[in-house]
Protein backbone atom coordinates (compact mmCIF):
# COMPACT_ATOMS: atom_id res chain seq x y z
CA UNK A 1 0.00 0.00 0.00
CA UNK A 2 1.50 3.28 -1.01
CA UNK A 3 1.70 6.37 1.17
CA UNK A 4 -1.14 8.17 -0.68
CA UNK A 5 -3.69 5.44 0.01
CA UNK A 6 -2.67 5.18 3.65
CA UNK A 7 -3.25 8.92 4.11
CA UNK A 8 -6.76 8.67 2.63
CA UNK A 9 -7.69 5.77 4.97
CA UNK A 10 -6.47 7.65 8.06
CA UNK A 11 -8.44 10.79 7.03
CA UNK A 12 -11.63 8.76 6.54
CA UNK A 13 -11.21 7.17 9.95
CA UNK A 14 -10.82 10.57 11.61
CA UNK A 15 -13.98 11.88 9.92
CA UNK A 16 -15.99 8.85 11.08
CA UNK A 17 -14.69 9.24 14.64
CA UNK A 18 -15.50 12.93 14.69
CA UNK A 19 -19.06 12.30 13.45
CA UNK A 20 -19.61 9.58 16.11
CA UNK A 21 -18.27 11.82 18.86
CA UNK A 22 -20.53 14.72 17.87
CA UNK A 23 -23.59 12.49 17.71
CA UNK A 24 -22.77 11.12 21.12
CA UNK A 25 -22.41 14.58 22.55
CA UNK A 26 -25.78 15.79 21.17
CA UNK A 27 -27.52 12.66 22.45
CA UNK A 28 -26.38 13.50 25.95
CA UNK A 29 -28.15 16.94 26.00
CA UNK A 30 -31.01 16.99 28.53
CA UNK A 31 -34.57 17.56 27.35
CA UNK A 32 -36.04 20.98 27.91
CA UNK A 33 -39.35 22.84 27.49
CA UNK A 34 -38.03 24.68 24.48
CA UNK A 35 -36.81 22.56 21.59
CA UNK A 36 -33.58 23.52 19.84
CA UNK A 37 -33.97 25.61 16.70
CA UNK A 38 -33.18 22.67 14.40
CA UNK A 39 -35.90 20.39 15.85
CA UNK A 40 -39.00 19.62 13.73
CA UNK A 41 -42.34 21.07 14.75
CA UNK A 42 -44.64 18.70 16.70
CA UNK A 43 -46.20 16.14 14.38
CA UNK A 44 -43.78 16.99 11.59
CA UNK A 45 -41.24 14.42 10.48
CA UNK A 46 -37.68 15.52 9.95
CA UNK A 47 -37.01 15.68 6.25
CA UNK A 48 -33.63 14.40 5.23
CA UNK A 49 -33.19 17.24 2.78
CA UNK A 50 -34.24 20.18 4.97
CA UNK A 51 -34.42 21.33 8.58
CA UNK A 52 -37.79 22.65 9.89
CA UNK A 53 -37.42 25.82 12.06
CA UNK A 54 -39.95 26.35 14.84
CA UNK A 55 -40.52 29.77 16.48
CA UNK A 56 -38.62 30.36 19.69
CA UNK A 57 -41.15 30.57 22.50
CA UNK A 58 -39.97 32.57 25.49
CA UNK A 59 -41.90 32.35 28.76
CA UNK A 60 -43.43 35.63 29.97
CA UNK A 61 -40.88 37.51 32.06
CA UNK A 62 -41.38 39.36 35.30
CA UNK A 63 -41.91 43.11 35.26
CA UNK A 64 -39.12 45.19 36.71
CA UNK A 65 -39.60 47.49 39.68
CA UNK A 66 -39.48 50.56 37.42
CA UNK A 67 -42.18 49.11 35.15
CA UNK A 68 -44.44 48.24 38.07
CA UNK A 69 -44.08 51.72 39.57
CA UNK A 70 -44.94 53.32 36.22
CA UNK A 71 -48.03 51.15 35.85
CA UNK A 72 -49.19 51.94 39.37
CA UNK A 73 -48.57 55.68 38.89
CA UNK A 74 -50.68 55.74 35.74
CA UNK A 75 -53.48 53.69 37.29
CA UNK A 76 -53.67 55.96 40.32
CA UNK A 77 -53.42 59.35 38.54
CA UNK A 78 -55.23 58.76 35.22
CA UNK A 79 -58.72 59.14 36.79
CA UNK A 80 -57.73 62.68 37.85
CA UNK A 81 -56.68 63.74 34.33
CA UNK A 82 -59.16 65.35 31.97
CA UNK A 83 -59.38 65.92 28.22
CA UNK A 84 -60.70 69.41 27.52
CA UNK A 85 -62.44 70.44 24.31
CA UNK A 86 -63.35 74.06 23.65
CA UNK A 87 -65.54 75.68 21.01
CA UNK A 88 -65.65 79.28 19.91
CA UNK A 89 -68.85 80.41 18.20
CA UNK A 90 -68.13 82.48 15.13
CA UNK A 91 -69.98 85.51 13.79
CA UNK A 92 -69.42 85.98 10.04
CA UNK A 93 -71.06 89.43 10.08
CA UNK A 94 -68.45 90.71 12.50
CA UNK A 95 -65.66 88.80 10.86
CA UNK A 96 -65.23 86.56 13.91
CA UNK A 97 -64.22 83.03 12.99
CA UNK A 98 -65.37 80.05 15.01
CA UNK A 99 -63.27 77.06 15.83
CA UNK A 100 -62.44 74.18 18.11
CA UNK A 101 -59.48 73.48 20.31
CA UNK A 102 -58.31 70.84 22.73
CA UNK A 103 -56.05 70.49 25.71
CA UNK A 104 -55.68 68.72 29.02
CA UNK A 105 -56.48 69.41 32.63
CA UNK A 106 -56.79 67.77 36.02
CA UNK A 107 -59.27 67.58 38.88
CA UNK A 108 -58.42 70.00 41.68
CA UNK A 109 -61.14 69.27 44.26
CA UNK A 110 -64.35 67.33 44.84
CA UNK A 111 -66.40 70.47 44.16
CA UNK A 112 -65.70 69.94 40.46
CA UNK A 113 -62.97 72.50 39.79
CA UNK A 114 -60.64 71.47 36.97
CA UNK A 115 -57.32 73.22 36.29
CA UNK A 116 -55.90 73.88 32.82
CA UNK A 117 -53.89 76.51 30.98
CA UNK A 118 -55.33 79.96 30.40
CA UNK A 119 -54.47 79.74 26.71
CA UNK A 120 -56.51 76.52 26.38
CA UNK A 121 -59.83 78.14 27.34
CA UNK A 122 -59.19 81.77 26.30
CA UNK A 123 -62.12 83.04 24.24
CA UNK A 124 -64.06 79.77 24.53
CA UNK A 125 -67.84 79.83 24.41
CA UNK A 126 -68.26 76.13 25.16
CA UNK A 127 -66.03 73.98 27.38
CA UNK A 128 -66.40 70.19 27.59
CA UNK A 129 -64.47 68.05 30.06
CA UNK A 130 -63.96 64.33 29.46
CA UNK A 131 -63.04 62.49 32.63
CA UNK A 132 -61.76 58.95 33.06
CA UNK A 133 -65.09 57.39 32.13
CA UNK A 134 -68.47 58.51 30.89
CA UNK A 135 -69.66 61.22 28.54
CA UNK A 136 -68.11 64.70 28.27
CA UNK A 137 -69.39 67.10 30.91
CA UNK A 138 -70.13 70.76 30.26
CA UNK A 139 -68.08 73.17 32.32
CA UNK A 140 -68.17 76.90 32.92
CA UNK A 141 -65.10 79.10 33.08
CA UNK A 142 -64.52 80.32 36.64
CA UNK A 143 -61.58 82.56 35.73
CA UNK A 144 -57.88 82.57 35.16
CA UNK A 145 -54.55 84.34 35.16
CA UNK A 146 -52.85 85.14 31.88
CA UNK A 147 -49.72 86.07 33.85
CA UNK A 148 -49.42 82.49 35.18
CA UNK A 149 -51.18 80.79 32.22
CA UNK A 150 -53.52 79.08 34.68
CA UNK A 151 -57.30 78.81 34.44
CA UNK A 152 -60.10 77.14 36.39
CA UNK A 153 -63.28 75.64 34.98
CA UNK A 154 -66.08 74.06 37.01
CA UNK A 155 -68.10 71.00 36.02
CA UNK A 156 -71.80 71.73 35.66
CA UNK A 157 -72.59 68.22 36.90
CA UNK A 158 -70.15 66.84 39.46
CA UNK A 159 -69.69 63.03 39.47
CA UNK A 160 -69.87 61.34 42.84
CA UNK A 161 -66.57 59.52 42.39
CA UNK A 162 -64.50 62.57 41.41
CA UNK A 163 -60.84 62.01 42.27
CA UNK A 164 -58.72 65.13 42.93
CA UNK A 165 -55.04 64.97 42.05
CA UNK A 166 -52.43 64.65 44.80
CA UNK A 167 -50.37 67.83 45.13
CA UNK A 168 -46.59 67.80 45.61
CA UNK A 169 -43.89 70.41 46.14
CA UNK A 170 -42.02 72.11 43.30
CA UNK A 171 -39.60 73.96 45.58
CA UNK A 172 -37.70 70.79 46.52
CA UNK A 173 -37.20 69.44 42.99
CA UNK A 174 -33.77 68.41 41.79
CA UNK A 175 -32.42 68.20 38.28
CA UNK A 176 -32.26 64.54 37.26
CA UNK A 177 -35.24 63.26 39.21
CA UNK A 178 -37.99 61.45 37.32
CA UNK A 179 -40.84 63.38 35.72
CA UNK A 180 -44.08 62.02 34.24
CA UNK A 181 -46.64 63.76 32.03
CA UNK A 182 -50.18 62.56 31.44
CA UNK A 183 -52.28 64.32 28.85
CA UNK A 184 -53.95 64.16 25.48
CA UNK A 185 -51.35 64.90 22.80
CA UNK A 186 -52.90 65.28 19.34
CA UNK A 187 -56.21 64.14 20.87
CA UNK A 188 -54.85 60.77 22.00
CA UNK A 189 -56.43 60.45 25.42
CA UNK A 190 -54.47 59.76 28.59
CA UNK A 191 -51.02 59.30 27.20
CA UNK A 192 -48.19 58.71 29.68
CA UNK A 193 -44.73 59.98 28.84
CA UNK A 194 -41.68 59.78 31.05
CA UNK A 195 -38.45 61.67 31.45
CA UNK A 196 -36.55 63.70 33.98
CA UNK A 197 -36.47 67.20 35.38
CA UNK A 198 -34.00 68.69 32.89
CA UNK A 199 -33.59 72.13 34.48
CA UNK A 200 -35.13 74.43 37.07
CA UNK A 201 -35.70 78.17 37.44
CA UNK A 202 -36.43 78.75 33.78
CA UNK A 203 -38.17 81.99 32.77
CA UNK A 204 -41.29 81.74 30.62
CA UNK A 205 -42.51 84.98 28.94
CA UNK A 206 -46.21 85.75 29.26
CA UNK A 207 -48.26 88.85 28.66
CA UNK A 208 -47.30 92.50 29.06
CA UNK A 209 -43.58 91.89 29.43
CA UNK A 210 -43.95 89.70 32.50
CA UNK A 211 -42.36 86.31 33.07
CA UNK A 212 -43.24 83.25 35.09
CA UNK A 213 -40.24 82.43 37.25
CA UNK A 214 -39.25 79.02 38.58
CA UNK A 215 -40.55 77.18 35.50
CA UNK A 216 -39.67 73.47 35.27
CA UNK A 217 -37.97 72.15 32.15
CA UNK A 218 -38.48 68.46 31.31
CA UNK A 219 -37.65 66.06 28.50
CA UNK A 220 -40.83 64.04 29.07
CA UNK A 221 -42.54 64.29 25.68
CA UNK A 222 -45.01 67.16 25.59
CA UNK A 223 -46.96 67.88 22.41
CA UNK A 224 -49.97 69.95 21.31
CA UNK A 225 -52.87 68.72 23.43
CA UNK A 226 -50.72 68.22 26.54
CA UNK A 227 -51.24 71.86 27.54
CA UNK A 228 -52.88 72.11 30.95
CA UNK A 229 -52.10 68.53 31.92
CA UNK A 230 -50.13 67.51 35.01
CA UNK A 231 -46.40 67.00 35.38
CA UNK A 232 -45.83 64.48 38.17
CA UNK A 233 -43.07 63.21 40.41
CA UNK A 234 -42.37 59.51 40.88
CA UNK A 235 -44.98 59.36 43.66
CA UNK A 236 -47.70 60.56 41.29
CA UNK A 237 -47.93 64.00 42.91
CA UNK A 238 -48.49 67.19 40.93
CA UNK A 239 -45.31 69.24 40.54
CA UNK A 240 -46.28 71.40 37.56
CA UNK A 241 -48.76 72.24 34.81
CA UNK A 242 -47.45 71.51 31.31
CA UNK A 243 -47.77 74.70 29.30
CA UNK A 244 -45.24 75.08 26.47
CA UNK A 245 -42.61 73.43 24.34
CA UNK A 246 -39.52 74.73 22.59
CA UNK A 247 -39.62 73.34 19.07
CA UNK A 248 -39.13 74.54 15.51
CA UNK A 249 -41.50 71.86 14.18
CA UNK A 250 -44.29 72.35 16.72
CA UNK A 251 -43.85 68.81 18.05
CA UNK A 252 -41.85 67.59 21.00
CA UNK A 253 -38.12 68.20 20.76
CA UNK A 254 -37.40 67.09 24.31
CA UNK A 255 -37.72 70.57 25.80
CA UNK A 256 -41.01 71.13 27.59
CA UNK A 257 -41.97 73.63 30.27
CA UNK A 258 -44.35 73.40 33.23
CA UNK A 259 -45.69 76.08 35.58
CA UNK A 260 -44.43 75.07 39.06
CA UNK A 261 -47.08 73.84 41.45
CA UNK A 262 -46.21 76.37 44.15
CA UNK A 263 -47.54 79.10 41.82
CA UNK A 264 -50.63 76.98 41.12
CA UNK A 265 -51.27 76.67 44.86
CA UNK A 266 -50.98 80.45 45.16
CA UNK A 267 -53.14 81.37 42.17
CA UNK A 268 -55.95 78.79 42.09
CA UNK A 269 -57.68 79.68 45.40
CA UNK A 270 -57.71 83.34 44.31
CA UNK A 271 -59.20 82.42 40.93
CA UNK A 272 -61.88 80.24 42.55
CA UNK A 273 -62.78 83.02 45.00
CA UNK A 274 -62.64 86.05 42.69
CA UNK A 275 -62.27 84.81 39.12
CA UNK A 276 -58.70 86.10 38.82
CA UNK A 277 -55.30 85.97 40.46
CA UNK A 278 -53.77 89.08 41.96
CA UNK A 279 -51.15 91.03 40.02
CA UNK A 280 -48.85 92.49 42.66
CA UNK A 281 -47.51 95.99 42.00
CA UNK A 282 -46.66 99.35 43.57
CA UNK A 283 -48.15 101.70 40.96
CA UNK A 284 -45.39 102.47 38.47
CA UNK A 285 -44.86 102.10 34.76
CA UNK A 286 -41.35 101.01 33.81
CA UNK A 287 -39.41 102.42 30.88
CA UNK A 288 -38.31 100.18 28.04
CA UNK A 289 -35.31 98.15 29.18
CA UNK A 290 -33.35 99.31 26.14
CA UNK A 291 -33.35 102.83 27.57
CA UNK A 292 -31.43 101.62 30.63
CA UNK A 293 -28.79 100.14 28.32
CA UNK A 294 -28.58 103.34 26.30
CA UNK A 295 -28.05 105.60 29.31
CA UNK A 296 -25.71 103.14 31.02
CA UNK A 297 -27.70 102.22 34.15
CA UNK A 298 -28.45 98.81 35.63
CA UNK A 299 -31.99 98.57 36.93
CA UNK A 300 -35.61 99.45 36.17
CA UNK A 301 -36.17 103.08 35.21
CA UNK A 302 -39.38 104.55 36.66
CA UNK A 303 -41.24 106.04 33.69
CA UNK A 304 -44.54 106.94 35.39
CA UNK A 305 -45.90 107.03 38.92
CA UNK A 306 -49.65 106.54 39.45
CA UNK A 307 -51.17 109.31 41.58
CA UNK A 308 -52.14 108.07 45.04
CA UNK A 309 -50.23 104.81 44.59
CA UNK A 310 -47.80 103.29 47.10
CA UNK A 311 -44.99 104.37 44.74
CA UNK A 312 -46.02 108.00 44.97
CA UNK A 313 -46.44 107.78 48.75
CA UNK A 314 -42.94 106.32 48.98
CA UNK A 315 -41.54 109.30 47.07
CA UNK A 316 -40.56 107.65 43.78
CA UNK A 317 -39.85 110.17 41.01
CA UNK A 318 -40.28 109.28 37.30
CA UNK A 319 -38.09 110.38 34.43
CA UNK A 320 -38.86 113.78 32.93
CA UNK A 321 -38.56 113.79 29.16
CA UNK A 322 -39.12 117.54 28.89
CA UNK A 323 -36.22 118.28 31.21
CA UNK A 324 -34.27 115.23 30.08
CA UNK A 325 -33.78 114.06 33.66
CA UNK A 326 -33.70 110.38 34.58
CA UNK A 327 -35.47 110.30 37.94
CA UNK A 328 -35.40 107.10 40.04
CA UNK A 329 -33.98 103.71 39.05
CA UNK A 330 -34.96 100.63 41.08
CA UNK A 331 -31.80 98.53 41.43
CA UNK A 332 -32.83 96.02 44.11
CA UNK A 333 -35.90 94.64 45.89
CA UNK A 334 -35.67 93.08 49.33
CA UNK A 335 -31.91 92.89 48.89
CA UNK A 336 -32.02 91.06 45.53
CA UNK A 337 -30.71 92.79 42.39
CA UNK A 338 -33.31 94.08 39.92
CA UNK A 339 -32.07 94.27 36.34
CA UNK A 340 -35.31 93.82 34.38
CA UNK A 341 -39.05 94.41 34.69
CA UNK A 342 -39.40 90.63 35.11
CA UNK A 343 -37.04 90.77 38.11
CA UNK A 344 -39.20 93.46 39.68
CA UNK A 345 -42.46 91.60 38.98
CA UNK A 346 -41.06 88.37 40.41
CA UNK A 347 -39.88 90.13 43.56
CA UNK A 348 -43.28 91.72 44.08
CA UNK A 349 -44.90 88.30 43.58
CA UNK A 350 -42.69 86.87 46.31
CA UNK A 351 -43.41 89.79 48.62
CA UNK A 352 -47.16 89.34 48.25
CA UNK A 353 -50.12 91.70 48.23
CA UNK A 354 -50.52 93.62 51.49
CA UNK A 355 -46.84 93.44 52.49
CA UNK A 356 -44.12 96.06 52.26
CA UNK A 357 -41.38 95.76 49.66
CA UNK A 358 -37.99 97.28 50.45
CA UNK A 359 -36.73 99.01 47.32
CA UNK A 360 -33.17 100.10 46.71
CA UNK A 361 -33.42 103.19 44.53
CA UNK A 362 -30.74 105.13 42.71
CA UNK A 363 -31.10 108.77 41.69
CA UNK A 364 -28.03 110.29 40.15
CA UNK A 365 -25.09 109.23 42.29
CA UNK A 366 -27.18 108.76 45.44
CA UNK A 367 -28.70 105.45 46.57
CA UNK A 368 -31.41 105.06 49.21
CA UNK A 369 -33.86 102.47 50.54
CA UNK A 370 -37.60 103.04 50.68
CA UNK A 371 -40.64 100.94 51.60
CA UNK A 372 -43.68 100.58 49.37
CA UNK A 373 -46.84 98.59 50.08
CA UNK A 374 -47.59 95.92 47.48
CA UNK A 375 -51.13 96.14 46.10
CA UNK A 376 -53.23 94.19 43.59
CA UNK A 377 -53.10 96.22 40.40
CA UNK A 378 -56.08 94.32 38.94
CA UNK A 379 -58.18 95.42 41.87
CA UNK A 380 -57.87 99.03 40.85
Q: Which of these is catalytic: 149, 219, 328, 343? A: 149
Residue 1 scores a pLDDT above 60: no
* Model confidence pLDDT, tens digit, residues 275-326: 998 889 999 988 888 888 888 889 999 999 999 999 999 999 999 888 888 8
- DSSP for 206-257 reads -GGG-EEEEEEEE-S---TT-TT-EEE-TTS-EEEEEEEE--SSSS--S-EE
**Catalytic (active site) residue 119:** yes
Phi-psi region of 139 (alpha: psi -120 to 50; beta: other; left: phi over 0): beta
Across 45-54, 178-187, 228-237, the highest mean pLDDT is recorded for 228-237
pLDDT on residue 8:
41
170 is known as an active-site residue: no
Per-residue pLDDT tens over the stretch 315-364: 999 998 888 888 999 999 999 999 888 789 888 988 988 999 999 999 98
Give tens-digit pLDDT for 180-219: 999 988 877 789 999 999 999 888 887 655 678 789 999 9
**Domain-by-domain residue ranges, the chain?**
74-155, 178-274, 280-379
Fold annotation for 74-155: Thrombin, subunit H (2.40.10)
Are domains 74-155 and 178-274 of this chain identical in fold?
Answer: yes
Tell me the pLDDT of the chain averaged across its residues: 82
Of 80, 119, 198, 343, the catalytic one is 119
For residue 71, CA distances in Å to 228, 302, 311, 314, 342 come to 22, 54, 54, 57, 40
CATH of 178-274, one of 2.40.10.10, 3.40.50.2000, 2.102.10.10, 2.40.50.140: 2.40.10.10
Does pTM surpass 0.85?
no
pLDDT over 80 at 20, yes or no: no
Per-residue pLDDT, 355: 95
Q: What percent of the chain has pLDDT over 70?
A: 80
Among 170, 221, 227, 252, the one annotated catalytic: 227
What is the C-alpha to C-alpha distance for residues 292 and 329, in angstroms, rounded to an integer? 9
> DSSP letters of 288-340?
PHHHHHHHT--SEEEEEE-TTSHHHHTT----BTTTTB---EEEEETTEE--S
The model's pLDDT over 95-117, given as tens digits with 9 standing for 90+, comes to 666 678 889 999 999 999 999 99
The alpha helices in the chain, defined as continuous H runs, are: 3-27, 65-77, 118-121, 261-274, 289-295, 310-313, 341-351
33 a catalytic residue: no
State which fold the 280-379 domain adopts: Pdz3 Domain (2.30.42)
Least confident of 14-23, 88-97, 266-275: 14-23
User: Residue 175: what are its φ and ψ, rounded to 5°?
Assistant: -60, 130
The contacts of residue 250 (CB under 8 Å, 6+ apart) are: 224
Amino acid sequence: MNGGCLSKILLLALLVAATWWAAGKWSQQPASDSAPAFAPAPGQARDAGSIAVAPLVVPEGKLGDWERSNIELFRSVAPSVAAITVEKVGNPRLGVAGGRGAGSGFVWDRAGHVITNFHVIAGADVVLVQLHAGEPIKAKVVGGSEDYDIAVVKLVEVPANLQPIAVGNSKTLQVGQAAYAIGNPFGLSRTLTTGIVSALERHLPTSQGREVRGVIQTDASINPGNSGGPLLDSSGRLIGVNTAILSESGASAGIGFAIPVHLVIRAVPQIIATGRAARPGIGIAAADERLAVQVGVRGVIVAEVVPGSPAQKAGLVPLDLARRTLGDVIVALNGKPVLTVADLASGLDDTGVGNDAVLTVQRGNATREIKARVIDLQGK
